[in-house]
Amino acid sequence: MDPEVKELDIASLVNKAIAEHGATREAVIPILSEINRALGYIPAAALPEIRRHIHVPEEGVFLADSHLYSAASFYQLFSLRPLGRHVIRFCESAPCHVMGGRQVIQALQDELRLEPGETGEDRKWSLLMTSCLGVCGVGPVFLVDDDIYGNATPEQVAEILARYE
Amino acid sequence: MISLTINGQTLEVPENTTVLKAAEQAGIVIPTLCNHKDLTPYGGCRLCSVDIQGLRLPATACTMLVAPGMVVRTESPALTRYRRTILELLLVGFYDAGYTHSNGTTGPALDTQFAYWVNYYGIDMKSAMTKEPFRRIDSDPNPFIWVDKNKCIMCTRCVRACAEVQGRFVWTQAYRGYDLRIVAGAATTMLQARCESCGACVAHCPTGALDNKMSVRLGPPSRVVTTTCSYCGVGCQLDLNLKDDAPGGRVLRVTSNAKAPINGDHLCVKGRYGYDFIQSPKRLKQPRVRKYLLDGTVRPHNRGPWVEVDWDTALDIAARGLRAARDQYGPGSIGLLTSSKCLNEENYLMNKLARQLLGTNNIDCCDHVHHASVVEGLDTALGLNGQSNSLDDVASEAKSMLIIGSNTSEQHPVFGVKIRQAVLRRGCKIVVAHPDFINMSEYAALRLVHRPDTEAALVNGLTRLILKNGWEDRAFIEKHTVGFEDFKRSVDEFTPERVAALTGVDEKTLQQAAEILAANRPMAVVWGVDLATHPAGGCNVMSLVNLQLLLGNFGAPGGGLISLRTQNNSQGACDMGGHPNFYPGYQSVESGAARKKFEAAWGKGLPAKPGLTATQMMAAAAEGKLRALFILGEDLLAGDSASPQVRRSLQNCDFVVAMEVFDSETSRNADVLLPGVTFAEKTGTFTNTERRIQMVHQAISPQGGSRPDWQIIVELARRIQRNGSNGEYSAWVYGDTSQIMAEAAALTPIYAGVSHERLERVNGLQWPVKNFSHPGTPILSAEYFTGGRGRFTPVEYHRAEAASSNS
Amino acid sequence: MKVIRSMVLVSVDQASLERGAEEVFHTFLDEIDEFGLSDQIAVATIRDVGFRDDIPLVIVYPDAAVYGPVKPEDVHTIVEEHLHKGNIVPHLLAMMHELAPEIAWMRSRKGALPVQKRIVLERAGIVDPESLEDYVLYDGFQALGKALTQLTPAEVIAEVEKSGLQGRGGAGFPTGRKWSFVASTPGNPKYVICNADESEPGTFKDRLILEGDPFSIVEAMTIAGYAIGAHEGYIYIRGEYPLAYRRIENALRQAEAHGLLGDHIFGTDYSFYIHPHAGAGAYICGEETALIESLEGKRGIPRARPPYPTTYGLFGKPTVVNNVETLANVPPILRNGAAWYRDVGLPKSTGTKVYTILGCVNFTGLIEVPMGITLREVIDIYGKGMKDGKKLKLVQTGGSSGTIVPASLQDTPMDFDSFRNAGVSLGSGALLVCGEDTCVVDLAKVILRFFRNECCGKCTPCRIGTLRLYEIMSQISEGKASLSDLEVMQKISEAMSEVSNCGLGQTASTALRDILKYFREEVEAHITDHVCPVGVCPIAGHSPELILVQQPLHAG
């Protein structure tokens, strides 16, 4: 997830996303998802590139950069700035909290030396808070990238983090 | 009609009316903040929540449509509590640095819609709001719009105004919840987000979070004068906000006026922000004459130095010079250039001065090139002297448009925006023909990118395709045209292949264009100065006339020929006789009947031959045949038309009198310079491109020693006039401009029912206004054609060829 | 299909275990099996029976018979006489002159046995979710086949209406009525949307249906489409459920490949296409009009209503939006008939409900039971009692937007009506169980923080109200608030509940209001005494000396 993504990469990514989801307004969120997934975030340069494909006045479809920015900034899973190589999403909703979440987040903060929302200077870790992930039966829960860790305890934190380069 | 009860009052409203609008009708006020009559309802501020019988929770009146038998209560202790809570919550994240009020106290602005409701519910804004700013004040670097997000209440009126009124989509909401923020584009500066600085967002903002940089914190005005803008031919009305703390008053700012007939709350960057020229220190404040005229010596080569003099001296010298030229070299040696920016009344006086007192038809106005083509095209073929339909009916009803030779968004911004709205809201299909990618191209259903100066060939190609497919309106052609067969033959050679070779527009695109325009009627043809300003301008217009006659797009709203006149009074200047061939009202100088009428009115014999056009005047001056020039409010050497020939002509002309507001290249070549005034310092009328005559109201006193131009002309005339003649209107005695208009109206059939008093009452009339009870004529249908029939004019091959090779 | 007619509960609290309860439990299983009654009698355990001498207790449902103390050698008699022959055994009954409150509920409870009855979760965990063959083997696509070949759309709707099925996403709107409305609204095309944006904290029932039995949703949506006259459907799956999305995609592919979706389904005239769509992290997109906006490529902002999606929905067309669990009920209803469905649950709240049990219990997870079970039964029988033997303090029902049920109300039957009468909402079925170690201020803070994060920002009361409520609650938790702040919160909460634009704003302060209703003293202790009775809040400079066991106030 290199913050300095080249123009050509963005263009080809957008083309690929458009090819898969179509060049319509309804495809905007899936397209943004693809880019976010590939790069870890949505670079500003991607928006005019997406707009280029979808803005077709000849067919009565008008799309401005502002529309895309407003959609991209609304959804929690999207990031508009580059994140760390590994992104931790810690569930801070009531069930996980009641099941002992407070101690686990404290352990994560201590281990990473990051406050919630921060990305480390070495760009290895981003620690983000998230709302309920829908695995409440095994709370407390946190994600590391796509891996789900349930029944988490403060003692497990160090070992879990050590698994990631 | 649906019947409902609001606060015990029963009333009937049409279907699809909101509860809010219904309440308005019943005279009941419901508090609102995010609602605006120009914009789709949002339902975000929740202030307009009302109780509706049968519903468990209150509903927002702005979004709720009425239903039969609905019972609404707009007030209750609970509703008051909620509204107060809402306002208090808004003040939690609100900081207004304020300014100093007239009573010396500092505090937040009190005259915003937001402040009104805060005060109404008994909340002290200053103590309830945040104690410190939490966002940067004046956070955007653009030159016109002040952005202070400390005052933003997320009503999104700016977002909706930019989207729905301006069609530009600059503002949007980003993030969510309390982090919600209004941003421009993709969180860039406004200009980077392609803002056009029209100020619509400012006009719609209820808190002053968006304001005008040039006048923020200047406070409320002492008085407001509604007048007509002096920039382009759309003729927007606006409010000059004035303060009377300086003698004669000073301009604080311009605001829009929701009641303006054409533009409502909308203006463009020029109208809204281009007002500091009015009181610019560079204004000419004193008359000047060249030193040699005071000394009585021969004119030096470069005319010599200026000397500031009093008015009498300047006027005497000017009158003497003009009289001398007439007496010595004959009336044909004088030329007058009147102004498409000055009042109708002033143009009328110029025409009277030229013809009655100086005995010449050498009067023209400077964008003659545009006029010439309009005249040649519309007048010759149809007998019309102005566009056939109104801007509003085209914007609301046209199913498609051909926009050719017009960079509408730049030249007629507010009309350009109305076209955008037609595209975005109604799906109107516009075909934009222009060599460049202009702003309007972004909204086009189809672009015709043709080589410069090939418009006539392009349009001929379209008409040929229409004929080949049988899409012409046979009934209309039968009933309302002549010359069809000749014309039909003449377009035969403009095959798609030929057109492609000449214009660069391929066959398939041309076919698509013809389909769109023929299938979506009424269709309006819109053109502007880009089409008309070149030698083949006349041909171009003729070909467009042919197109519309072929498709029968006359008489209905949404059709017609829309020739967009460039300046604020281009139309009026011609209307008032600023033309070598016509008296006011397009009555030909060659017509015996017309000439007799004016001779009787002005008590003087009048020349029978058409005069010189502006171009011809310049040529004559270069050859030494034109000895005197009287120029009102035009800079011949401005911008593109700064040709060396024109400069030489001016230099060569013996005696040049210029009436101006600023120094210009032209005035540098004048012998006498008389300081006139801007539109803010005189009262009179302008006529916009849709033939609408609107009032211009004086707001401040003339700056320095300048004088209203009409007064200057009258003073000059009095000095030139020898003895009184005995026509009804031979005198030059006018108390004010309404008397000038009365005279012009009496002699001009198309203005017959126009008077200042009537215009004050009805706020605008479109000519022809046949008499004082005639309501004016928004649409010129086929019955207005000469003899009720329009003429097809073959646009000949070699002329078209010449047009296309003139690149 | 097993039809359970009786339930036996054996007490297994510490004291009972010391007196041989475990052996009693196993003996029951053996004896019931011996008598061939395993398919009719369910045996489960219960912990909280109060302090008694006559333990172990054995409680037999639905007769409300309590036996105790029960020894292993008594079991045979109970099984033969009571369970097999139907005669209660008087000499083994416990002394009931004072029925302990912990088991008094059985006398007043209404409703069917608290036995799990898996209707929507019938196949989850049993079939291979990626196999069309497995699905068909377990009665899959029978309902669709019946609908398309034997019933008219109107008949399908009539059956659903008769079944009494109500929306399971939280709103409880009668499903048949919604379909009927859209079917008769003019407009073309029409759409079916499956709302799989399950984001209510504590709720993961839809996930299990989507991941465990995805074909059932495909079948259900197609039936819905047929009923209302739609040919296109969308299933909006939250972005945090990638496995569910993949399994649905796979199900769509396989169904289409076999003529069970797409053109001419089952060789009939009817065609239906389903488009999967992933969300991107917004709780508000569970609100149906916000979901539609998101589907259209915009921010998930709820629209002004009316008009409702049934008239003006996706792309402005008439649209049915149904929750996953609601849809999962449809094929069984069509297969087995409306009468069968009505038999389950209560007359006014038919069918089953999926509950998720979370929090301070020994067993967290998912159960599907008929409507009418009580919280006590859920916690005791299925949650296997409070963790570490702590006392129950409160349960938040229906997720973070749900109501707080104090321990005193734990015997209220959980059906739409009873709950409504008690001022409690069922919501999505999430049950967050909190014991005496939960501080209500801390809990309220976490809940309000959720709404501040998820608020879309459109309307004033919610946008600023959720922030202010969270801020004030944080201040209370830090001991920095004053009593007047409680009035401020009350005022804000009232405005939010009445004039917000959507359900999020209307319910965001529900928990707060209930906490102030039932636990006001504990909240005030933070304010006036600067103390957190439970010892959780960061009230600076004070150690938690007092640990009060909060006695909840009764409602009204």
Residue extents of the structural domains in chain A:
7-72, 86-161
Burial class (CB in 10 A: 0-12, 13-18, 19+), B111: exposed
Looking at the fold, whether C286 and C182 belong to one and the same domain comes out as: yes
Which of C312, C341, C370 is the C-terminal boundary of a domain?
Answer: C341
Looking at the fold, whether C225 and C310 belong to one and the same domain comes out as: yes
Burial class (CB in 10 A: 0-12, 13-18, 19+), C435: buried
Interface test with C, best of A26, A36, A53, A104 (most C CBs within 10 A): A26
Q: Is the pLDDT of residue B645 over 90?
A: no
Looking at the fold, whether C241 and C366 belong to one and the same domain comes out as: no
Q: Is the pLDDT of residue C554 over 70?
A: no
Looking at the fold, whether C167 and C305 belong to one and the same domain comes out as: yes
DSSP H helical segments within B144-268, as ranges?
Answer: 157-160, 200-204
Is B78 within 8 Å of C498 when comparing Cβ atoms? yes
For chain A, the residues whose C-beta falls within 8 A of a C-beta of chain C are: 24-30, 32-33, 36, 67, 70-71, 74-78, 92-95, 97-99, 130-139, 146
Of residues C326, C301, C60, the one with CA closest to residue C174: C326
Question: Residue A83 has which token pair?
Answer: 């994140």
Question: Residue A7 has which token pair?
Answer: 């123009």
Residue C282 has what pLDDT?
95
Backbone angles phi, psi at C555, to 5 degrees: -70, 130
Q: Which residues of B650-663 are buried (b: 16+ CB within 10 A; e: fewer)?
A: bebbbbbbbbbbeb
Of residues C226, C244, C22, the one with CA closest to residue C124: C244
Looking at the fold, whether C385 and C482 belong to one and the same domain comes out as: no
Partnered with residue B447 across adjacent β-strands are B432
How far apart are alpha carbons B20 and B70 in whole angstroms?
Answer: 13
This prediction has a pTM of 0.91
Looking at the fold, whether C202 and C162 belong to one and the same domain comes out as: yes
Print the domain residue range for C190. Answer: 132-341
The per-residue pLDDT of chain A, averaged, comes to 92
Of residues C198, C188, C179, the one with CA closest to residue C236: C198
Backbone angles phi, psi at B172, to 5 degrees: -150, 170
Backbone angles phi, psi at C489, to 5 degrees: -60, -40
CB B354 within 8 A of CB B719: no
**Entry field: residues in chain B:** 807
Q: Which of C101-110, C310-319, C450-459 has the least mean pLDDT?
A: C101-110
- CA of C202, closest CA in chain A: separation in Å? 5
pLDDT interval class at C53 (50, 70, 90): confident
3-class secondary-structure state, position B113: helix
Which residues fall within 8 angstroms of residue B653, CB to CB, at 6 or more apart? B621, B626, B627, B628, B629, B669
How far apart are alpha carbons C68 and C91 in whole angstroms?
Answer: 10
How far apart are alpha carbons C512 and C87 in whole angstroms?
Answer: 49
Mean pLDDT value across residues C44-48: 86
- Flag whether C555 is in a domain: no
Strands A142-144 and A147-149: antiparallel
Within B534-663, strands assigned E span 560-563, 582-583, 587-588, 628-632, 655-660
Partnered with residue A149 across adjacent β-strands are A142
Residue B666 has what pLDDT?
87
Residue C169 has what pLDDT?
77
Looking at the fold, whether C379 and C518 belong to one and the same domain comes out as: no
Residues of chain B contacting residue A70, judged by C-beta atoms under 8 Å apart: 172-174
Encode pLDDT of B652-687 as tens digits.
899 999 999 999 888 889 999 999 999 999 999 999
Distance of CA A164 to the CA centre of its chain: 18
Which residues fall within 8 angstroms of residue C505, CB to CB, at 6 or more apart? C455, C459, C461, C462, C465, C466, C496, C497
Looking at the fold, whether C379 and C488 belong to one and the same domain comes out as: no
Residues of chain B contacting residue C467, judged by C-beta atoms under 8 Å apart: 92, 177-178
- Flag whether C176 is in a domain: yes
Q: Chain B: residue nearest A44 by CA?
A: B186
Q: Is the pLDDT of residue B584 over 60?
A: yes
Encode pLDDT of B688-709 as tens digits.
999 999 999 999 999 999 999 9
Is C241 within 8 Å of A134 when comparing Cβ atoms? yes
Residue C124 one-letter amino acid: A
Q: Is the pLDDT of residue C240 over 60?
A: yes
Which residues fall within 8 angstroms of residue B151, CB to CB, at 6 or more apart? B94, B95, B96, B207, B208, B209
Q: Which residues of B617-636 are buried (b: 16+ CB within 10 A; e: fewer)?
A: bbbbbbeeebbbbbbbbbbb
Looking at the fold, whether C425 and C456 belong to one and the same domain comes out as: no
Burial class (CB in 10 A: 0-12, 13-18, 19+), A13: buried
How far apart are alpha carbons B132 and A121 in whole angstroms?
Answer: 32
Mean pLDDT value across residues B559-572: 94
pLDDT interval class at C150 (50, 70, 90): very high
Is A26 within 8 Å of C201 when comparing Cβ atoms? no
- A-C CB pairs within 8 A amount to 130
How far apart are alpha carbons B438 and A52 in whole angstroms?
Answer: 17
Tell whether C236 lies on the interface with A, counting CB pairs under 8 A: no
Residue A1 has what pLDDT?
43
Residue B641 has what pLDDT?
55
Domains: count for chain C: 4
CB C176 within 8 A of CB C163: yes
Percent of chain C with pLDDT over 70: 95
Q: Chain C: residue nearest A24 by CA?
A: C297
Encode pLDDT of B292-320 as tens digits.
999 999 999 889 999 999 999 999 999 99
pLDDT interval class at C22 (50, 70, 90): very high
Mean pLDDT value across residues A7-33: 91
Of residues B220, B208, B153, B216, the one with CA closest to residue B181: B153
How far apart are alpha carbons C536 and C442 in whole angstroms?
Answer: 7
Mean pLDDT value across residues B442-471: 93
User: Which letter does DSSP use for residue C42 in this model?
Assistant: E
Is A29 within 8 Å of C277 when comparing Cβ atoms? yes
Residue C352 one-letter amino acid: T
- CA of B188, closest CA in chain C: separation in Å? 19
Tell whether C242 lies on the interface with A, counting CB pairs under 8 A: yes
Q: Is the pLDDT of residue B800 over 60?
A: no
Residue C2 one-letter amino acid: K
How far apart are alpha carbons B237 and A128 in whole angstroms?
Answer: 54
Domain containing C54 — which CATH number?
3.40.30.10
User: Which letter does DSSP use for residue C90 in this model?
Assistant: G
Is A134 within 8 Å of C207 when comparing Cβ atoms? yes
Question: Residue B486 has which token pair?
Answer: 């000749």
Looking at the fold, whether C196 and C239 belong to one and the same domain comes out as: yes
- Flag whether C108 is in a domain: no
How far apart are alpha carbons B710 and B683 in whole angstroms?
Answer: 10
Which of B86, B153, B173 is nearest residue C461 as measured by Cβ atoms?
A: B86
Q: Which residues of C26-62 are buried (b: 16+ CB within 10 A; e: fewer)?
A: ebbeebbeeeeeeeebbbbbbbbbeebebbbbbbbbe
Residue C389 has what pLDDT?
86
Which of C306, C455, C495 is nearest residue B177 as measured by Cβ atoms?
A: C455
How far apart are alpha carbons C501 and B48 in whole angstroms?
Answer: 12
Domain containing C169 — which CATH number?
3.40.50.11540
Residue C548 has what pLDDT?
38
Question: Residue B671 has which token pair?
Answer: 């012998």
Residue C535 one-letter amino acid: G
Partnered with residue C394 across adjacent β-strands are C406, C434
How far apart are alpha carbons B479 and B789 in whole angstroms?
Answer: 8
Partnered with residue C9 across adjacent β-strands are C44, C59
User: Which letter does DSSP use for residue B281 in this model?
Assistant: T
Question: Residue C317 has which token pair?
Answer: 């067309």
Q: Which of B631-635, B777-781, B793-797 has the least mean pLDDT?
A: B793-797
Q: Is the pLDDT of residue C551 over 60?
A: no
CB C463 within 8 A of CB C470: no
How far apart are alpha carbons B303 and B73 in whole angstroms?
Answer: 79
pLDDT interval class at C473 (50, 70, 90): very high
Looking at the fold, whether C336 and C228 belong to one and the same domain comes out as: yes
Question: Residue C58 has which token pair?
Answer: 């054995």
Residue B452 has what pLDDT?
87
Residue B485 has what pLDDT?
94
Encode pLDDT of C247-272 as tens digits.
999 999 999 999 999 999 999 999 99
Q: Is the pLDDT of residue B29 over 70?
A: yes
How far apart are alpha carbons A37 and A31 in whole angstroms?
Answer: 10
Q: Which of B245-249, B433-437, B789-793 has the least mean pLDDT?
A: B245-249
Encode pLDDT of B84-140 as tens digits.
999 999 999 999 977 666 666 677 777 899 999 999 999 999 889 998 899 999 999
3-class secondary-structure state, position B293: helix
Residue B635 has what pLDDT?
78
Q: Is the pLDDT of residue C556 over 50?
A: no
Question: Residue C447 has which token pair?
Answer: 């809940």
Residue C545 has what pLDDT?
41
Residues of chain B contacting residue A62, judged by C-beta atoms under 8 Å apart: 169, 424, 443
Tell whether C358 lies on the interface with A, counting CB pairs under 8 A: yes
Q: Is the pLDDT of residue B801 over 60?
A: no
H/E element, A36: helix A28-39
Q: What is the dihedral of CA B481, B486, B489, B491, to 10 degrees?
A: -60
Which residues fall within 8 angstroms of residue B55, CB to CB, at 6 or more apart? none
Percent of chain B with pLDDT over 90: 83
Is B82 within 8 Å of C494 when comparing Cβ atoms? yes
Q: B352-356 — which CB contacts under 8 Å span 24+ positions? A: B352/B577, B352/B602, B352/B717, B353/B630, B353/B713, B353/B716, B353/B717, B353/B720, B354/B611, B355/B577, B355/B583, B355/B598, B355/B602, B355/B606, B355/B607, B356/B602, B356/B603, B356/B604, B356/B606, B356/B730
Residue B639 has what pLDDT?
62
CATH superfamily, domain A86-161, is: Glutaredoxin (3.40.30.10)
- CA of A32, closest CA in chain C: separation in Å? 9
- Flag whether C442 is in a domain: no
- Flag whether C103 is in a domain: no
Residue B376 has what pLDDT?
72
Looking at the fold, whether C302 and C431 belong to one and the same domain comes out as: no
Which of C374, C405, C435 is the C-terminal boundary of a domain?
Answer: C435
H/E element, C192: strand C191-196
Mean pLDDT value across residues C278-284: 95
H/E element, C180: helix C175-184
3-class secondary-structure state, position A87: strand
